[in-house]
Structure 1
Amino acid sequence: MSNKAEIFSNKMCDILNYGALNLAMGIGYEAGLFEVLANMDTPSSCSVIAEEGGVSERYLREWLGVMVCGGIVEIHTDAQGQELFELPEEYVSFLCRSGGNSNLGVYTQEIPLLTDCAREGVLEGVKSGAGIPYERYPRFYSFMEQLADAKHRDVLVQTFLPSVLGGEIVRRMKKGISVCDIGCAEGVALEVMAQVFPASQFTGIDISEDSLNNGRNRVAQLGLKNITFQLQDAAGGDIDSVRFDYITAFDSIHDQTRPFEALCNIHKMLKPGGVFSMIDIKASSSVGENMDHPMGAFLYTVSLMHCMPVGLVDGGTGLGMMWGREKAVSMCREAGFSRVEVNDIPEDGFNSHYLCFK
């Protein structure tokens, strides 16, 4: 066997091991097993951990086998020869909900969920080129909304908005402006902003009537009077009479079937002097330039399984998650924005902030 073949053979073993490890970690995360391990004061036996977590000891033992062989959980042996298991303290913030922005364990659920939702559709699409409708992804969207909601509550007002225009957007929102969120889902970002900036008016636009109704119900329960929701495709509809001072789109433009038309409409929806914040994946438009991206293979897989196929529905563009900085800037400028700035986002290594001016 040549040296190159041997290296690739070893790489294939790594791929099979890490793919299996991701699946098992996703199951453990959803079942709360990492939290149980994190709460154990000392290395503990499988039976003690199972009792603490209220789970099946037999299932737990097999899962711990994956975690030990995968280098996630450490194993010890007591004086009687009994195996004891421990999650290193240094790993806890990366694997548990308490880790906040450091928590990467939550993402181990993403590929298994997408496999459940879309594997057959992607296999069909590879041959036909057809897209996959949103309706095929209910569990994935529920997961992603929970993820986005938690992030909005943690960082939107505290970290992100103060970074926009050096805090100027916060000053404007305190005085009172009109704000729109594109692809708002159930409107958690709007809810967070509306509570902090009662003098401003907020509108959410989405194509899911169920999500909008859930948002309307929650806003009514909270007694917020400065939020409205609108069922509309960002790329279509009569929007000439609508004018906003500030528009946001959190990782929603690359999923559009007609992203360029959506950007053109967003430009129309802004008042002269208005600002558009497009938050999207930090990447290059060149596959070769993304080879050193620390999460490149993961992000391209998410795009393959979701972002690209939903963007292909009804003859759509199929832009994909990894459309990248160069294409994003070019499309925004072509859509009419006079200036496009690309900024890093505090405490967010995944996304870039495309700040677009009218």
Structure 2
Amino acid sequence: MDLETYSNNITTLISGSYITSAITIGKELGLFDELKRLDKPVSSLELAEACDLKERYVREWLGCMVATKIVSIDDSDHYYIPQSLKEGLKATNMVFLYPLLGTLTESAKECFKKTGPKGLSYADMPADLVDLTERKTVNPGAVVEDLLPPITKSLGSVKTILDLGCGGGNITLALSKRFPDADIYAVDYSETAITRATAIAKAEGIKNVTFVKEDVTSLPSDWTGKFDWVILFDVLHDLPDHINAMKEVHRVLKDDGVTSIVDPDVHSHHRDNVGDTCVAGIGYSISCLVCLPCSSSIEGAVCHGIGWGTENKEAFLKSTGWKVEDKRSLGSPFALNFTCVKA
């Protein structure tokens, strides 16, 4: 790589971070939704009126969107997104964490320092983090359906389910609708997450889910051999004590049960991630702010984060009493699913 290419690469990456602010505005104020709904080009005034926004600001935003080729412009200075490209707007879901980046960066800077804290638990993170991280899973029902094919090979019926590290409950609530006759338990260490999830379940009239605040390394003693299916969705790499957490999963899972572990698909060795900006680049960046601090938050923590990587994770599972029966992407490189049974 020559000097010019190197400099341009840095400029491009920084430019993208600025443009993300405009993408966030478009997503949260409904501009993308309206452009997706429209079947013909519109003026900046028409778009602003449809979204109940000021035209001058919308026009400035459109300038950014046109320059970056996210929105198209015709010869009459009307704006649109081609029908064939509208499905691509689902990529804007990646901005879920952007509103907290400034706050999280300041906290992470302290963790980097030798004199700073070892890490930060989820309890130390901004309260809004629970809501924002739930947004990244736009269609939890589809995620549940994607989890099912490999588990049906081993399971007959699913009567008891544990969602371990349930967060705000998006996946849990989707499970409750998919398995209305199952007893579902959802565990998280965050009081904020459990409170949010419980409130949503109550509002939706869901009766077959129990949300409980528990430490994943010391689950209730009477749960031994209780569950047909245990799910860890985007959780394992965040845990400061993954060894004892997975011992507990092994204990509470029935002998013929199945465990689904979903984590980002990033290589364990840096050299294997060279040039992978959209997965490894983003993954490591988020990990510096959230995942690594969380996995470093107790004395003797393993300090994994996303950098633990797929190869190391699979080796750990195979060496600690698990058999990986299936490994597949759930439609995104940020969601690699390990389907495991007791070895």
TM range (shorter): 0.7 to 0.9
- Are 1:16 and 2:1 matched, yes or no? no
Change (3 A) 1:286 1:58: same
Match of 1:39 in 2: 37
- Aligned partner of 1:328 among 300, 306, 313: 313
d(CA) in 2 for partners of 1:320, 1:139: 20
Contact preservation (8 Å) 1:182, 1:206: yes
RMSD over aligned Cα, in angstroms? 2.4
- Are 1:94 and 2:88 matched, yes or no? yes
Change (3 A) 1:329 1:125: same
Amino acid in the other structure paired with 2:149 = P
Match of 1:124 in 2: 110
**Deviation of residue 342 (structure 1)?**
4.4
Contact preservation (8 Å) 2:130, 2:193: no
**Deviation of residue 262 (structure 1)?**
0.9
* TM-score, L = length of structure 1: 0.84
Match of 2:217 in 1: 235
Contact preservation (8 Å) 2:130, 2:167: no
Amino acid in the other structure paired with 2:221 = I
Structure 1: any 5+ residue segments left out of the alignment?
96-102
- Aligned partner of 2:142 among 145, 154, 161: 154
d(CA) in 1 for partners of 2:262, 2:297: 23
Q: Alignment identity in percent? A: 26
Contact preservation (8 Å) 2:44, 2:55: yes
**Deviation of residue 181 (structure 1)?**
1.2
- Aligned partner of 1:144 among 109, 113, 133: 133
* TM-score, L = length of structure 2: 0.88
- Aligned partner of 2:171 among 173, 184, 189: 189
Q: Deviations over 1:127-161 (max 9, x none)?
A: 1353133232322320212333x4322331x3321
Change (3 A) 1:115 1:214: closer
d(CA) in 2 for partners of 1:36, 1:224: 32
Match of 2:234 in 1: 251
Contact preservation (8 Å) 1:281, 1:322: no
Higher helix share: 1
How many pairs align? Answer: 336
Q: Please identify runs of 4+ aligned residues in structure 1 that moved more than 4 A.
A: 220-225
Match of 1:98 in 2: none
Contact preservation (8 Å) 2:164, 2:231: yes
Contact preservation (8 Å) 2:131, 2:168: no
- Are 1:356 and 2:340 matched, yes or no? yes
SS in structure 2 of the partner of residue 313 of structure 1 = coil
SS in structure 1 of the partner of residue 315 of structure 2 = helix
d(CA) in 1 for partners of 2:332, 2:11: 32
- Are 1:72 and 2:59 matched, yes or no? no
d(CA) in 2 for partners of 1:25, 1:183: 29
d(CA) in 2 for partners of 1:226, 1:242: 20
SS in structure 2 of the partner of residue 138 of structure 1 = coil
- Aligned partner of 1:301 among 265, 269, 285: 285
Higher mean Cα deviation, 280-289 or 292-301? 292-301
SS in structure 1 of the partner of residue 230 of structure 2 = strand
Structure 2: any 5+ residue segments left out of the alignment?
none
Matching of residues 193-208 of structure 1 within 5 Å: 193-208=175-190
SS in structure 2 of the partner of residue 71 of structure 1 = coil
d(CA) in 2 for partners of 1:346, 1:120: 33
Change (3 A) 1:7 1:242: same
